[in-house]
Structure 1
Amino acid sequence: MPRKRKRYKTISKKKLLKLKPFLDDLVVNIEEPDYINDDPVQFMYAFEDKADKELAGFFAATMAWGRRDIVNAKVEDLLQRMDYKPYEFIQNYSESDTPVFEGFKHRTFKPIDIHWLTKTLQSILLKFQTFERFWAFCAEQAKIQKRELIAVFHDQFFTLHPEIPQRVRKHVSNTEKNSSAKRLYMYLRWVIRKNSPVDPGTMSFIKPSELKIPLDVHVARQARKLGLLSRKQNDWKAVLELTKRMKMLDPEDPAKYDFALFGIGVLGSRIPDELIINKNVE
């Protein structure tokens, strides 16, 4: 029998409520307009038109893998290839435009991946008119099928072009494969949260209360230190566990605590020693 992985200690509900002021202060201090300048969300602010914002944001979130400065440079490169008109470019895209993507590379993204993502987005716009209507359709189907939104989004996204190579599919997460879906839930944080100094809040097909925490290695590490996450794996079960605790602190807007945990991990904020539950977090 394989040995069960040890879990990290978790915080009691009483201590969790005592932790709330610390996390809330971090959110207030980090969720400020200056945050936008170094984050891929900046590409949603680069456009006036809602369609341009949402499509540029989708590419930015999908490519948000690795150091933020490199991600930002790669998204800039991609949008430049689209003449900074993502909606118009996607709508009018044809096979003759594929040379535009030649030489593009980011992590495992290659021209073939961008080609098929663009082609699929074009089909979505043709069928649903707007990207938000496609998301709304997926959300409705998720409720009918009693499945997670991201899993349905993944299925529907690739239904439009069954001939898409398998390699392209890995760039759109599927929670039914136990993926944390960090990049897609970051995108949803951007488009769903309203009245935020950072998140543009362009869509309304679900409520902020339905969002999950975008779980990356930085957020997960700080969550474990604070006793907010017991799982050692950064997977879908960990997302559900962490989001459940964040909903205890703010049932209407749990995803705002992404700013606090990300800020501790990346932006240099410090956890007071008395708040650390697990000192030996890997």
Structure 2
Amino acid sequence: MQAPENLKPIPRSVLVFGAANHLGTPLARYLQQHAPQIRLRLVSTRPEGRETLRRHFPDAEVISANWFDPASLKPAVQGMEGIFINTPGGTDEQPAMTNLVAAIKEAGTAIHILRTLGLQPEASPRRIPEAVRQAFLGLPVQHPIAKRILDASDLPVTYLNLGATFMDNFFWMKAALVQQRKLIWHNRLITFIDPREVGEAAARLLLCDNHRHIGQFHTLNNGQDLLRFSDVAQLMSEVFAETITYNGSKEAFFDAYAPMGELRQLLWDFFEYERANEVVWAPNNFLERTLGRKPLTVRQWLEEHAAALLAAMPK
């Protein structure tokens, strides 16, 4: 049987918002290594981020742009055929995406746009507790706003829904691991993903000529790990060859993460909301099919980062 025809042109230029973070950097690195002919324009709002990008990507154009400053977005998107959009937690998506859509439409050059989301698939907004609605994290509220605006724009968008927790979040839990050999975190049930592989998958989709991805909502996880954090503590014990105990109580969480201040309650409320709807999470093989290999497991990630997770904290 003859393979169906693919119709999407490969972008000759790619704009990466959040290029200095743990998704944007591996995306840019993959494009630099596998498609050096593509013109890269890398965005970071932080001066230190731009300096890092200039060191690692000397052939790329490094700029600053602000979601809430239309004048900065127009030159950012000008002439760009591929665009990767990743907004930080707390972004007010209504003005941010309204401004960006207007700039992209005015430029008129976009072939393929990737937008990251963090949603429980098909979750009803009516089930979102008020505390979570008001939290600055706001993903269950803000990301549907972003999707509605992009859907209405008729721009060539593919949604990458990060239906998993990032494995490098374990570094948030490092202090208790080092000091007490204890994992302290909410005992949520969740799938997992290495952010480096999200960046690579995004790059591969930009380089893919299959037009059928445009308009799709793809949920990404490693397809292998659906775990509670008590399960992760057991994995850590096996990988580290020493006992890692677990405490998922609210009291331990608030004590361990006291420096977060009010953020502790916002996170806890968010995790409780996710736990109330945890049956929605299911491993899938989209990331594996996109990468062309099995994604990294939690065990493999822990083996790679064991020394760093257990190394003494700087004084």
TM-score by length of 2: 0.30
* Larger Rg belongs to: 2
- Larger RCO, structure (CA 8 Å, separation 6 or more): 1
TM-score by length of 1: 0.32
